[in-house]
Amino acid sequence: MKVLLAKNAGFCMGVRRAVETTLDTIHREDQGVATFGPLIHNPQVLDLLEERGVRVLNEVPEHESGSVIIRAHGVPPSQKKKLQSTGAKVKDATCPRVVKVQAIIKKYTALSHGTIIIGDKNHAEVEGLMGYADPLGIVVSNEKDVVDLQKDQGCIKSPYIIVSQTTQDEAAFERLSQMILNSIPGGKVFNTICGSTHRRQEEVRELGTKVSAMVVVGGKNSANTQRLGEIAESMGCTVFMVETERELDVVALGKFDCAGVTAGASTPTWQINRVIRTLESIPGRGEGILRPFLFKMLWLLLATNLYVSLGGGLLAFVCAVLQGIEPRFEHFFIGFGYIFAMHNLNRYSDQKIKKFNDPVQGLFYERYRLPLLIASSLTLILALILTYDLGVRSFWLLAGMSFFGVLYSVHFIPRFLLPIIKVRRLKEIPGSKTFFVALAWAFVTTVVPAWGVMKWPGPQTMSVFVFVLLLIYVRSALFDVFDVQSDRLVGKETLPVFIGEKKTLVFLHVIMGILFAMLVILPLAGLMSTLALWFIPAVIYLICLSLFYEKGLLNQGPKLDFYLESLLIILAGLAFLGQITVGN
Protein backbone atom coordinates (compact mmCIF):
# COMPACT_ATOMS: atom_id res chain seq x y z
CA MET A 1 0.00 0.00 0.00
CA LYS A 2 1.18 3.48 -0.84
CA VAL A 3 1.50 5.73 2.23
CA LEU A 4 1.51 9.54 2.38
CA LEU A 5 2.87 10.93 5.65
CA ALA A 6 2.04 14.41 6.91
CA LYS A 7 5.25 16.42 7.22
CA ASN A 8 4.56 17.69 10.76
CA ALA A 9 3.44 14.39 12.28
CA GLY A 10 5.05 13.53 15.61
CA PHE A 11 6.37 15.37 18.66
CA CYS A 12 5.76 19.10 18.67
CA MET A 13 8.35 21.44 20.16
CA GLY A 14 6.63 21.63 23.55
CA VAL A 15 6.27 17.87 23.95
CA ARG A 16 9.83 17.23 22.81
CA ARG A 17 11.06 19.82 25.33
CA ALA A 18 9.08 18.18 28.16
CA VAL A 19 10.33 14.69 27.32
CA GLU A 20 13.94 15.83 26.96
CA THR A 21 13.74 17.76 30.24
CA THR A 22 12.58 14.58 31.95
CA LEU A 23 15.25 12.41 30.32
CA ASP A 24 17.99 14.89 31.23
CA THR A 25 16.71 14.93 34.83
CA ILE A 26 16.74 11.11 34.94
CA HIS A 27 20.36 11.15 33.81
CA ARG A 28 21.44 13.60 36.52
CA GLU A 29 19.10 12.90 39.43
CA ASP A 30 19.83 10.12 41.93
CA GLN A 31 17.01 10.86 44.42
CA GLY A 32 14.08 10.00 42.20
CA VAL A 33 12.11 11.74 39.44
CA ALA A 34 8.36 12.33 39.29
CA THR A 35 6.00 14.25 37.04
CA PHE A 36 2.98 16.15 38.33
CA GLY A 37 0.28 14.46 36.32
CA PRO A 38 1.01 12.51 33.10
CA LEU A 39 3.85 14.29 31.29
CA ILE A 40 2.17 14.01 27.88
CA HIS A 41 -0.90 12.26 26.47
CA ASN A 42 0.80 9.15 25.10
CA PRO A 43 0.62 5.88 27.09
CA GLN A 44 3.56 4.22 25.30
CA VAL A 45 5.94 7.06 26.16
CA LEU A 46 4.63 7.13 29.73
CA ASP A 47 5.25 3.37 30.03
CA LEU A 48 8.83 3.89 28.88
CA LEU A 49 9.37 6.65 31.43
CA GLU A 50 7.88 4.44 34.13
CA GLU A 51 10.39 1.71 33.18
CA ARG A 52 13.12 4.26 33.83
CA GLY A 53 11.77 4.99 37.31
CA VAL A 54 9.65 8.10 36.67
CA ARG A 55 6.64 8.27 39.02
CA VAL A 56 3.41 10.16 38.34
CA LEU A 57 2.03 12.36 41.12
CA ASN A 58 -1.70 12.98 40.83
CA GLU A 59 -1.86 15.10 44.00
CA VAL A 60 0.58 17.45 45.72
CA PRO A 61 2.30 15.48 48.52
CA GLU A 62 3.19 16.96 51.89
CA HIS A 63 6.86 16.13 51.44
CA GLU A 64 8.81 15.11 48.35
CA SER A 65 12.49 14.50 47.61
CA GLY A 66 14.26 14.46 44.27
CA SER A 67 12.80 16.30 41.29
CA VAL A 68 9.23 16.95 40.25
CA ILE A 69 8.59 17.97 36.65
CA ILE A 70 5.59 20.07 35.69
CA ARG A 71 4.06 18.54 32.57
CA ALA A 72 3.84 20.17 29.14
CA HIS A 73 0.21 21.27 29.70
CA GLY A 74 1.15 23.45 32.68
CA VAL A 75 -0.54 23.75 36.08
CA PRO A 76 -2.35 26.49 38.02
CA PRO A 77 0.07 28.83 39.84
CA SER A 78 -1.31 27.73 43.21
CA GLN A 79 -0.32 24.12 42.53
CA LYS A 80 3.15 25.16 41.44
CA LYS A 81 3.65 27.02 44.75
CA LYS A 82 2.46 23.98 46.73
CA LEU A 83 4.90 21.75 44.83
CA GLN A 84 7.77 24.11 45.61
CA SER A 85 6.88 23.99 49.31
CA THR A 86 7.23 20.17 49.46
CA GLY A 87 11.04 20.34 49.39
CA ALA A 88 11.36 18.89 45.90
CA LYS A 89 13.33 20.47 43.07
CA VAL A 90 10.56 21.66 40.74
CA LYS A 91 11.37 21.82 37.04
CA ASP A 92 8.80 23.53 34.86
CA ALA A 93 8.44 21.75 31.49
CA THR A 94 5.33 23.71 30.49
CA CYS A 95 5.22 24.25 26.73
CA PRO A 96 6.41 27.79 25.88
CA ARG A 97 3.25 28.28 23.77
CA VAL A 98 1.13 27.52 26.86
CA VAL A 99 3.29 29.84 28.95
CA LYS A 100 2.48 32.61 26.45
CA VAL A 101 -1.26 32.07 26.96
CA GLN A 102 -0.76 32.04 30.74
CA ALA A 103 1.06 35.38 30.50
CA ILE A 104 -1.76 36.97 28.47
CA ILE A 105 -4.40 35.83 30.95
CA LYS A 106 -2.30 36.95 33.92
CA LYS A 107 -1.79 40.41 32.40
CA TYR A 108 -5.47 41.07 31.66
CA THR A 109 -6.72 39.50 34.89
CA ALA A 110 -4.54 42.05 36.71
CA LEU A 111 -6.43 44.72 34.70
CA SER A 112 -9.77 43.25 35.92
CA HIS A 113 -10.66 41.79 32.51
CA GLY A 114 -12.70 38.63 32.26
CA THR A 115 -11.32 35.64 30.37
CA ILE A 116 -13.11 33.25 28.02
CA ILE A 117 -11.05 30.18 27.19
CA ILE A 118 -12.19 28.29 24.10
CA GLY A 119 -11.12 24.73 24.82
CA ASP A 120 -12.01 21.32 26.20
CA LYS A 121 -13.41 21.33 29.71
CA ASN A 122 -11.38 19.21 32.15
CA HIS A 123 -8.38 19.21 29.80
CA ALA A 124 -5.11 19.56 31.72
CA GLU A 125 -4.02 22.67 29.81
CA VAL A 126 -7.38 24.39 30.28
CA GLU A 127 -7.38 23.64 34.00
CA GLY A 128 -3.94 25.22 34.25
CA LEU A 129 -5.07 28.31 32.33
CA MET A 130 -8.14 28.69 34.54
CA GLY A 131 -5.78 28.91 37.50
CA TYR A 132 -4.55 32.24 36.08
CA ALA A 133 -8.07 33.52 35.23
CA ASP A 134 -10.00 32.66 38.42
CA PRO A 135 -12.40 34.01 39.49
CA LEU A 136 -12.90 35.91 36.22
CA GLY A 137 -12.62 32.99 33.81
CA ILE A 138 -15.02 30.72 31.96
CA VAL A 139 -14.54 27.82 29.51
CA VAL A 140 -16.44 27.54 26.23
CA SER A 141 -16.23 24.23 24.37
CA ASN A 142 -19.03 24.36 21.80
CA GLU A 143 -21.93 26.36 20.42
CA LYS A 144 -24.24 25.28 23.23
CA ASP A 145 -21.83 26.88 25.73
CA VAL A 146 -21.98 30.11 23.71
CA VAL A 147 -25.79 30.05 23.80
CA ASP A 148 -25.69 29.52 27.58
CA LEU A 149 -23.24 32.42 27.84
CA GLN A 150 -25.64 34.66 25.89
CA LYS A 151 -28.46 33.79 28.30
CA ASP A 152 -26.36 34.63 31.35
CA GLN A 153 -24.06 37.45 30.29
CA GLY A 154 -23.52 38.36 33.90
CA CYS A 155 -21.25 35.36 34.34
CA ILE A 156 -18.51 37.06 32.29
CA LYS A 157 -16.94 40.34 33.32
CA SER A 158 -16.63 43.03 30.63
CA PRO A 159 -14.28 44.06 29.19
CA TYR A 160 -12.99 40.56 28.53
CA ILE A 161 -10.50 38.64 26.44
CA ILE A 162 -10.91 35.46 24.39
CA VAL A 163 -8.01 33.01 24.22
CA SER A 164 -7.73 29.46 22.98
CA GLN A 165 -6.42 26.16 24.22
CA THR A 166 -3.25 25.79 22.11
CA THR A 167 -4.46 22.57 20.43
CA GLN A 168 -7.93 23.80 19.38
CA ASP A 169 -9.29 23.49 15.86
CA GLU A 170 -8.63 26.77 14.04
CA ALA A 171 -12.00 26.84 12.27
CA ALA A 172 -13.91 26.08 15.49
CA PHE A 173 -12.05 28.83 17.36
CA GLU A 174 -12.84 31.42 14.69
CA ARG A 175 -16.50 30.39 14.63
CA LEU A 176 -17.01 30.37 18.41
CA SER A 177 -15.08 33.57 19.07
CA GLN A 178 -17.11 35.41 16.41
CA MET A 179 -20.36 34.16 17.94
CA ILE A 180 -19.26 35.47 21.35
CA LEU A 181 -18.23 38.87 19.97
CA ASN A 182 -21.51 39.24 18.08
CA SER A 183 -23.59 38.71 21.21
CA ILE A 184 -21.42 40.18 23.97
CA PRO A 185 -19.63 43.50 23.31
CA GLY A 186 -16.29 44.53 24.78
CA GLY A 187 -14.21 41.47 23.89
CA LYS A 188 -10.64 41.27 22.60
CA VAL A 189 -9.52 38.12 20.75
CA PHE A 190 -6.11 36.48 21.04
CA ASN A 191 -5.64 33.54 18.68
CA THR A 192 -3.34 31.45 20.88
CA ILE A 193 -3.54 28.24 18.85
CA CYS A 194 -0.05 26.81 18.47
CA GLY A 195 1.50 27.19 15.02
CA SER A 196 2.38 23.50 15.00
CA THR A 197 -1.27 22.61 15.67
CA HIS A 198 -2.39 24.89 12.84
CA ARG A 199 0.08 23.30 10.40
CA ARG A 200 -0.99 19.76 11.35
CA GLN A 201 -4.62 20.60 10.79
CA GLU A 202 -3.94 22.21 7.42
CA GLU A 203 -1.87 19.20 6.36
CA VAL A 204 -4.74 16.86 7.23
CA ARG A 205 -7.08 18.96 5.10
CA GLU A 206 -4.59 18.84 2.24
CA LEU A 207 -4.04 15.07 2.61
CA GLY A 208 -7.81 14.62 2.69
CA THR A 209 -7.98 15.78 -0.93
CA LYS A 210 -5.48 13.08 -1.99
CA VAL A 211 -6.55 9.99 -0.04
CA SER A 212 -9.75 8.22 0.96
CA ALA A 213 -8.31 6.62 4.10
CA MET A 214 -6.56 8.45 6.95
CA VAL A 215 -4.68 6.78 9.80
CA VAL A 216 -4.31 9.03 12.85
CA VAL A 217 -1.70 7.83 15.34
CA GLY A 218 -1.77 8.95 18.95
CA GLY A 219 -3.08 8.52 22.46
CA LYS A 220 -6.82 8.02 22.82
CA ASN A 221 -6.92 10.72 25.51
CA SER A 222 -5.00 13.24 23.37
CA ALA A 223 -7.33 16.09 22.42
CA ASN A 224 -5.25 17.29 19.47
CA THR A 225 -5.05 13.72 18.09
CA GLN A 226 -8.82 13.30 18.27
CA ARG A 227 -9.25 16.67 16.59
CA LEU A 228 -7.11 15.57 13.64
CA GLY A 229 -9.41 12.59 13.22
CA GLU A 230 -12.47 14.84 13.27
CA ILE A 231 -10.98 17.08 10.57
CA ALA A 232 -10.13 14.05 8.41
CA GLU A 233 -13.72 12.79 8.76
CA SER A 234 -15.05 16.20 7.74
CA MET A 235 -12.98 15.83 4.54
CA GLY A 236 -14.86 12.63 3.72
CA CYS A 237 -12.02 10.23 4.67
CA THR A 238 -12.47 6.87 6.32
CA VAL A 239 -10.54 7.42 9.55
CA PHE A 240 -8.59 4.84 11.54
CA MET A 241 -7.65 6.07 15.02
CA VAL A 242 -4.82 3.94 16.45
CA GLU A 243 -2.28 4.11 19.26
CA THR A 244 -0.08 1.33 17.89
CA GLU A 245 0.30 -0.70 14.69
CA ARG A 246 -1.46 -3.64 16.39
CA GLU A 247 -4.76 -1.72 16.24
CA LEU A 248 -4.71 -1.33 12.44
CA ASP A 249 -7.68 -2.97 10.69
CA VAL A 250 -5.71 -4.77 7.97
CA VAL A 251 -8.83 -6.10 6.20
CA ALA A 252 -10.55 -2.70 6.04
CA LEU A 253 -7.36 -0.91 4.96
CA GLY A 254 -6.81 -3.46 2.19
CA LYS A 255 -9.78 -1.92 0.37
CA PHE A 256 -7.73 1.24 -0.29
CA ASP A 257 -4.77 1.72 -2.62
CA CYS A 258 -3.33 4.67 -0.68
CA ALA A 259 -3.56 5.87 2.93
CA GLY A 260 -2.62 9.14 4.59
CA VAL A 261 -0.89 9.12 7.97
CA THR A 262 -0.82 11.89 10.53
CA ALA A 263 -0.18 11.93 14.26
CA GLY A 264 -0.82 13.96 17.36
CA ALA A 265 1.72 16.24 19.01
CA SER A 266 2.46 13.64 21.71
CA THR A 267 3.18 10.78 19.30
CA PRO A 268 6.87 9.80 19.03
CA THR A 269 8.47 9.25 15.63
CA TRP A 270 9.24 5.60 16.28
CA GLN A 271 5.56 4.91 16.94
CA ILE A 272 4.57 6.54 13.63
CA ASN A 273 7.26 4.56 11.79
CA ARG A 274 5.92 1.29 13.18
CA VAL A 275 2.47 2.11 11.78
CA ILE A 276 3.94 3.08 8.40
CA ARG A 277 5.97 -0.15 8.20
CA THR A 278 2.80 -2.18 8.79
CA LEU A 279 0.76 -0.16 6.29
CA GLU A 280 3.39 -0.56 3.57
CA SER A 281 3.28 -4.33 4.01
CA ILE A 282 -0.51 -4.46 3.45
CA PRO A 283 -1.52 -5.30 -0.15
CA GLY A 284 -3.47 -2.30 -1.39
CA ARG A 285 -6.48 -2.51 -3.66
CA GLY A 286 -5.46 -3.80 -7.10
CA GLU A 287 -1.79 -4.19 -6.16
CA GLY A 288 -1.64 -7.98 -6.40
CA ILE A 289 1.08 -9.84 -4.52
CA LEU A 290 4.28 -8.61 -6.23
CA ARG A 291 4.75 -5.35 -4.33
CA PRO A 292 4.04 -6.80 -0.85
CA PHE A 293 6.34 -9.74 -1.70
CA LEU A 294 9.18 -7.39 -2.72
CA PHE A 295 8.63 -5.33 0.43
CA LYS A 296 8.84 -8.43 2.62
CA MET A 297 11.99 -9.59 0.82
CA LEU A 298 13.54 -6.16 1.33
CA TRP A 299 12.62 -6.24 5.01
CA LEU A 300 14.04 -9.74 5.38
CA LEU A 301 17.37 -8.73 3.81
CA LEU A 302 17.62 -5.83 6.26
CA ALA A 303 16.38 -7.76 9.32
CA THR A 304 18.86 -10.62 8.85
CA ASN A 305 21.72 -8.21 8.08
CA LEU A 306 22.37 -10.06 4.81
CA TYR A 307 22.19 -6.84 2.81
CA VAL A 308 24.65 -4.86 4.93
CA SER A 309 26.96 -7.89 5.06
CA LEU A 310 26.88 -8.12 1.28
CA GLY A 311 27.91 -4.47 1.16
CA GLY A 312 30.70 -5.14 3.66
CA GLY A 313 32.04 -8.04 1.64
CA LEU A 314 32.03 -5.99 -1.57
CA LEU A 315 33.73 -3.12 0.28
CA ALA A 316 36.57 -5.44 1.35
CA PHE A 317 36.95 -6.57 -2.25
CA VAL A 318 37.05 -2.96 -3.50
CA CYS A 319 39.46 -1.81 -0.77
CA ALA A 320 41.98 -4.41 -1.92
CA VAL A 321 41.91 -2.79 -5.38
CA LEU A 322 42.32 0.69 -3.89
CA GLN A 323 45.42 -0.47 -2.00
CA GLY A 324 46.99 -2.00 -5.07
CA ILE A 325 46.41 -5.52 -3.72
CA GLU A 326 45.17 -8.24 -6.03
CA PRO A 327 41.56 -8.83 -4.89
CA ARG A 328 40.66 -12.36 -3.83
CA PHE A 329 37.29 -13.91 -3.12
CA GLU A 330 38.55 -14.61 0.41
CA HIS A 331 38.51 -10.85 1.04
CA PHE A 332 34.80 -10.76 0.21
CA PHE A 333 33.89 -13.75 2.38
CA ILE A 334 35.97 -12.51 5.33
CA GLY A 335 34.28 -9.11 5.26
CA PHE A 336 30.84 -10.67 4.76
CA GLY A 337 31.27 -13.28 7.51
CA TYR A 338 32.66 -10.94 10.17
CA ILE A 339 30.08 -8.20 9.60
CA PHE A 340 27.18 -10.66 9.45
CA ALA A 341 28.27 -12.28 12.71
CA MET A 342 28.97 -9.08 14.66
CA HIS A 343 25.79 -7.30 13.56
CA ASN A 344 23.56 -10.22 14.49
CA LEU A 345 25.30 -11.00 17.78
CA ASN A 346 25.16 -7.38 18.93
CA ARG A 347 21.53 -6.96 17.87
CA TYR A 348 20.54 -9.21 20.77
CA SER A 349 22.07 -6.76 23.25
CA ASP A 350 19.78 -4.05 21.83
CA GLN A 351 16.49 -5.96 22.11
CA LYS A 352 14.94 -3.36 24.42
CA ILE A 353 15.67 -0.61 21.91
CA LYS A 354 14.62 -2.72 18.94
CA LYS A 355 11.30 -3.31 20.72
CA PHE A 356 10.47 0.35 20.12
CA ASN A 357 12.31 1.15 16.88
CA ASP A 358 10.97 -1.91 15.09
CA PRO A 359 8.94 -4.36 17.21
CA VAL A 360 8.39 -6.68 14.22
CA GLN A 361 12.15 -6.99 13.78
CA GLY A 362 12.56 -7.48 17.53
CA LEU A 363 10.01 -10.30 17.44
CA PHE A 364 11.82 -11.78 14.42
CA TYR A 365 15.10 -11.90 16.38
CA GLU A 366 13.40 -13.58 19.30
CA ARG A 367 11.62 -16.15 17.15
CA TYR A 368 14.69 -17.07 15.08
CA ARG A 369 17.24 -16.48 17.79
CA LEU A 370 18.85 -19.94 17.64
CA PRO A 371 19.15 -20.20 13.81
CA LEU A 372 20.61 -16.69 13.60
CA LEU A 373 23.09 -17.37 16.41
CA ILE A 374 24.18 -20.62 14.73
CA ALA A 375 24.49 -18.97 11.31
CA SER A 376 26.44 -16.03 12.81
CA SER A 377 28.84 -18.36 14.64
CA LEU A 378 29.45 -20.46 11.53
CA THR A 379 30.12 -17.42 9.32
CA LEU A 380 32.53 -16.04 11.92
CA ILE A 381 34.38 -19.37 12.10
CA LEU A 382 34.54 -19.48 8.28
CA ALA A 383 35.90 -15.91 8.22
CA LEU A 384 38.60 -16.86 10.76
CA ILE A 385 39.60 -19.96 8.73
CA LEU A 386 39.87 -17.93 5.53
CA THR A 387 41.84 -15.24 7.37
CA TYR A 388 44.29 -17.86 8.66
CA ASP A 389 45.03 -18.73 5.03
CA LEU A 390 45.96 -15.08 4.46
CA GLY A 391 48.48 -15.12 7.31
CA VAL A 392 48.87 -15.55 11.06
CA ARG A 393 48.88 -11.81 11.75
CA SER A 394 45.64 -11.30 9.85
CA PHE A 395 44.12 -14.21 11.76
CA TRP A 396 45.04 -12.87 15.19
CA LEU A 397 43.86 -9.38 14.21
CA LEU A 398 40.42 -10.69 13.21
CA ALA A 399 40.29 -12.97 16.27
CA GLY A 400 41.05 -10.01 18.54
CA MET A 401 38.41 -7.88 16.80
CA SER A 402 35.85 -10.67 17.24
CA PHE A 403 36.70 -10.98 20.93
CA PHE A 404 36.28 -7.27 21.60
CA GLY A 405 33.17 -7.21 19.40
CA VAL A 406 31.50 -9.74 21.69
CA LEU A 407 32.96 -8.04 24.78
CA TYR A 408 31.41 -4.70 23.79
CA SER A 409 28.13 -5.43 25.60
CA VAL A 410 29.60 -7.39 28.52
CA HIS A 411 30.29 -6.00 32.03
CA PHE A 412 34.03 -6.65 32.18
CA ILE A 413 35.27 -3.46 33.88
CA PRO A 414 35.57 -4.11 37.67
CA ARG A 415 32.87 -2.52 39.83
CA PHE A 416 35.43 -0.83 42.09
CA LEU A 417 36.53 1.31 39.12
CA LEU A 418 32.98 2.60 38.56
CA PRO A 419 33.47 5.83 40.59
CA ILE A 420 36.50 6.66 38.44
CA ILE A 421 35.52 5.76 34.86
CA LYS A 422 31.70 5.73 35.33
CA VAL A 423 31.14 2.69 33.04
CA ARG A 424 31.37 -1.09 33.37
CA ARG A 425 31.24 -1.95 29.66
CA LEU A 426 32.31 -0.29 26.41
CA LYS A 427 28.68 0.03 25.35
CA GLU A 428 28.06 2.61 28.09
CA ILE A 429 30.59 5.10 26.70
CA PRO A 430 28.53 7.85 24.97
CA GLY A 431 28.72 7.50 21.18
CA SER A 432 31.16 4.60 21.41
CA LYS A 433 29.24 2.09 19.28
CA THR A 434 29.38 4.27 16.18
CA PHE A 435 33.15 4.67 16.45
CA PHE A 436 33.88 1.03 17.30
CA VAL A 437 31.69 -0.20 14.42
CA ALA A 438 33.53 2.07 11.98
CA LEU A 439 36.90 0.99 13.38
CA ALA A 440 36.03 -2.69 13.02
CA TRP A 441 34.87 -2.21 9.43
CA ALA A 442 38.07 -0.32 8.56
CA PHE A 443 40.27 -3.08 9.98
CA VAL A 444 38.44 -5.99 8.35
CA THR A 445 38.19 -4.36 4.91
CA THR A 446 41.69 -2.84 4.70
CA VAL A 447 44.25 -4.07 7.24
CA VAL A 448 43.24 -7.75 7.26
CA PRO A 449 43.72 -8.12 3.46
CA ALA A 450 46.87 -5.92 3.54
CA TRP A 451 48.63 -8.02 6.18
CA GLY A 452 48.15 -11.02 3.97
CA VAL A 453 50.61 -9.65 1.40
CA MET A 454 52.77 -7.04 3.15
CA LYS A 455 54.70 -6.78 6.40
CA TRP A 456 53.37 -3.37 7.45
CA PRO A 457 50.50 -1.31 6.01
CA GLY A 458 51.80 1.27 3.54
CA PRO A 459 50.57 4.82 2.87
CA GLN A 460 47.86 3.59 0.49
CA THR A 461 46.52 1.17 3.10
CA MET A 462 46.43 3.90 5.74
CA SER A 463 44.65 6.27 3.34
CA VAL A 464 42.02 3.68 2.48
CA PHE A 465 41.72 2.79 6.20
CA VAL A 466 40.91 6.40 7.13
CA PHE A 467 38.48 6.72 4.21
CA VAL A 468 36.55 3.59 5.24
CA LEU A 469 36.63 4.62 8.92
CA LEU A 470 35.02 7.99 8.13
CA LEU A 471 32.56 6.54 5.60
CA ILE A 472 31.22 3.85 7.93
CA TYR A 473 31.20 6.29 10.85
CA VAL A 474 28.84 8.55 8.86
CA ARG A 475 26.68 5.58 7.86
CA SER A 476 26.38 4.31 11.45
CA ALA A 477 25.81 7.77 12.93
CA LEU A 478 22.99 8.45 10.46
CA PHE A 479 21.20 5.35 11.72
CA ASP A 480 21.62 6.77 15.23
CA VAL A 481 20.06 10.03 14.04
CA PHE A 482 17.07 8.13 12.63
CA ASP A 483 16.51 6.41 16.00
CA VAL A 484 17.34 9.32 18.31
CA GLN A 485 13.89 9.58 19.97
CA SER A 486 13.63 5.95 21.05
CA ASP A 487 17.34 5.84 21.97
CA ARG A 488 16.84 8.76 24.36
CA LEU A 489 13.78 7.17 25.91
CA VAL A 490 15.52 3.87 26.65
CA GLY A 491 18.73 5.57 27.80
CA LYS A 492 21.05 4.64 24.93
CA GLU A 493 24.03 7.03 24.78
CA THR A 494 24.49 7.57 21.04
CA LEU A 495 26.14 10.66 19.54
CA PRO A 496 22.80 12.36 18.61
CA VAL A 497 21.54 11.71 22.15
CA PHE A 498 24.75 13.12 23.62
CA ILE A 499 25.13 16.31 21.51
CA GLY A 500 21.76 16.60 19.78
CA GLU A 501 20.40 15.66 16.36
CA LYS A 502 21.16 18.97 14.63
CA LYS A 503 24.76 19.19 15.87
CA THR A 504 25.32 15.57 14.86
CA LEU A 505 24.09 16.25 11.32
CA VAL A 506 26.37 19.30 11.05
CA PHE A 507 29.30 17.20 12.28
CA LEU A 508 28.50 14.45 9.77
CA HIS A 509 28.25 16.94 6.92
CA VAL A 510 31.76 18.13 7.79
CA ILE A 511 33.01 14.53 7.62
CA MET A 512 31.25 14.05 4.28
CA GLY A 513 33.08 17.12 3.01
CA ILE A 514 36.37 15.57 4.16
CA LEU A 515 35.48 12.32 2.34
CA PHE A 516 34.81 14.26 -0.84
CA ALA A 517 38.15 16.08 -0.53
CA MET A 518 40.00 12.80 0.11
CA LEU A 519 38.66 11.28 -3.09
CA VAL A 520 39.94 14.27 -5.07
CA ILE A 521 43.30 14.86 -3.36
CA LEU A 522 44.61 11.39 -2.39
CA PRO A 523 44.54 9.86 -5.90
CA LEU A 524 46.40 12.91 -7.24
CA ALA A 525 48.98 12.54 -4.45
CA GLY A 526 49.47 8.86 -5.22
CA LEU A 527 48.11 7.81 -1.81
CA MET A 528 45.09 6.03 -3.29
CA SER A 529 44.28 4.37 -6.58
CA THR A 530 42.80 6.68 -9.22
CA LEU A 531 39.81 4.32 -9.11
CA ALA A 532 38.79 6.30 -6.00
CA LEU A 533 37.69 9.18 -8.24
CA TRP A 534 34.78 7.00 -9.29
CA PHE A 535 33.54 7.01 -5.68
CA ILE A 536 32.67 10.73 -5.76
CA PRO A 537 29.04 10.10 -6.90
CA ALA A 538 28.60 7.73 -3.91
CA VAL A 539 29.64 10.48 -1.47
CA ILE A 540 27.29 12.92 -3.22
CA TYR A 541 24.54 10.28 -2.86
CA LEU A 542 25.26 10.09 0.88
CA ILE A 543 25.14 13.88 1.24
CA CYS A 544 21.83 14.07 -0.64
CA LEU A 545 20.37 11.27 1.47
CA SER A 546 21.16 13.08 4.72
CA LEU A 547 19.87 16.40 3.39
CA PHE A 548 16.61 14.84 2.16
CA TYR A 549 16.09 13.32 5.61
CA GLU A 550 16.91 16.61 7.33
CA LYS A 551 14.41 18.47 5.13
CA GLY A 552 11.70 15.90 5.78
CA LEU A 553 11.67 14.59 2.19
CA LEU A 554 12.59 11.10 3.43
CA ASN A 555 11.12 9.49 6.52
CA GLN A 556 12.60 6.81 8.74
CA GLY A 557 11.58 3.27 7.84
CA PRO A 558 12.68 0.25 5.78
CA LYS A 559 12.96 2.33 2.61
CA LEU A 560 15.34 4.84 4.17
CA ASP A 561 17.34 2.03 5.79
CA PHE A 562 17.58 0.35 2.38
CA TYR A 563 18.70 3.57 0.69
CA LEU A 564 21.46 4.06 3.27
CA GLU A 565 22.66 0.44 3.21
CA SER A 566 22.70 0.62 -0.62
CA LEU A 567 25.58 3.10 -0.32
CA LEU A 568 28.12 0.26 -0.19
CA ILE A 569 26.50 -1.56 -3.13
CA ILE A 570 26.65 1.67 -5.13
CA LEU A 571 30.29 2.11 -4.11
CA ALA A 572 31.14 -1.39 -5.35
CA GLY A 573 29.19 -0.85 -8.57
CA LEU A 574 31.08 2.37 -9.28
CA ALA A 575 34.39 0.60 -8.62
CA PHE A 576 33.62 -2.20 -11.05
CA LEU A 577 32.37 0.31 -13.61
CA GLY A 578 35.60 2.26 -13.20
CA GLN A 579 37.68 -0.88 -13.67
CA ILE A 580 35.83 -1.79 -16.85
CA THR A 581 36.13 1.74 -18.23
CA VAL A 582 39.83 2.05 -17.39
CA GLY A 583 40.43 -1.45 -18.75
CA ASN A 584 38.81 -0.48 -22.02
CATH code, domain with 36: 3.40.50.11270
- Backbone dihedral region of 260: left (phi > 0), alpha (psi from -120 to 50 degrees) or beta? beta
Q: Which residue, of 297, 331, 347, is where some domain finishes?
A: 297
Tell whether 170 is covered by a domain: yes
Q: Are residues 435 and 558 in the same domain?
A: yes
CATH number of domain containing 579: 1.10.600
Nearest alpha-carbon partner for 63 in 93, 85, 32: 85
* In a shared domain, residues 278 and 367: no
Question: What is the DSSP-derived secondary structure letter of residue 446?
Answer: I
Is 59 designated active site?
no
Contact by Cβ (8 Å): 574, 537: yes
Mean pLDDT of all residues in 227-235: 92
- Whether residue 517 is contained in a domain is answered as yes
* Cβ atoms of residues 239 and 256 within 8 Å: no
**Any domain includes 5:** no
Backbone angles phi, psi at 530, to 5 degrees: -65, -15
Q: Are residues 161 and 222 in the same domain?
A: no
Q: Are residues 185 and 58 in the same domain?
A: no
3-state secondary structure of 168: coil
| Residue 392 domain flag | yes
Please determine, for residue 63, whether its predicted confidence score (pLDDT) is greater than 70.
yes
Judge if 303 and 255 occupy the same domain: no
Summary mean pLDDT of the chain: 85
Q: How many Cβ atoms from other residues are within 10 Å of residue 370's Cβ? A: 8
Domain count across the chain:
4
pLDDT digits (tens, 9 = 90+) for 48-62: 888 888 899 888 888
Q: Does the residue 361 lie in any domain?
A: yes
Altogether, the residues listed in the chain come to a count of 584
Between 567 and 158, whose confidence is greater?
567
Banded model confidence at residue 584, pLDDT cuts 50, 70, 90: very low
Q: Is the pLDDT of residue 208 over 70?
A: yes
Residue among 29, 51, 125, 127 flagged as catalytic? 125
Taking each helix axis from N to C end, the angle separating 306-322 and 329-347, rounded to the nearest 10 degrees, works out to 140
| 402 and 305 together in one domain | yes
Q: Would residue 547 count as lying in a domain?
A: yes
Are 283 and 320 in the same domain? no
Check pLDDT > 90 for residue 509.
yes
Q: Do residue 288 and residue 336 come from a single domain?
A: no
Q: Domain check: are 244 and 359 in the same one? A: no
**pTM of the predicted structure, to 2 decimals:** 0.75
Cβ neighbour number for residue 185 with a 10 Å cutoff: 10
What CATH number does the domain containing 124 carry?
3.40.1010.20
Please tell me the predicted confidence (pLDDT) of residue 411.
61
Of the residues 297, 322, 355, the one at which a domain ends: 297
Task: Output 198 or 293, whichever has higher pLDDT.
Answer: 198
Please state, for a pLDDT cut of 90, what percent of the chain lies above it.
39
Range of the domain at 149: 97-193
Quick one: 306 and 212 in the same domain? no
pLDDT surpassing 50 at residue 518 = yes
**pLDDT value of residue 425:** 57
Residue 4 belongs to some domain of the structure: no
Residues 256, 287 within the same domain: yes
566 and 422 share one domain: yes
Mean pLDDT, range 213-234, rounded to an integer: 90
Specify the amino acid at residue 495.
L
pLDDT at 418: 55
Task: Tell me what the mean pLDDT of segment 237-249 comes to.
Answer: 91
For residue 553, being part of any structural domain is answered with yes
Using alpha carbons, list the distances in angstroms from residue 51 to 46, 90, 397, 402, 441.
9, 21, 40, 32, 34
Q: Which of 193, 215, 232 is at the close of a domain? A: 193
Q: Which of 249-253, 260-264, 379-383, 495-499 has the lowest mean pLDDT?
A: 495-499
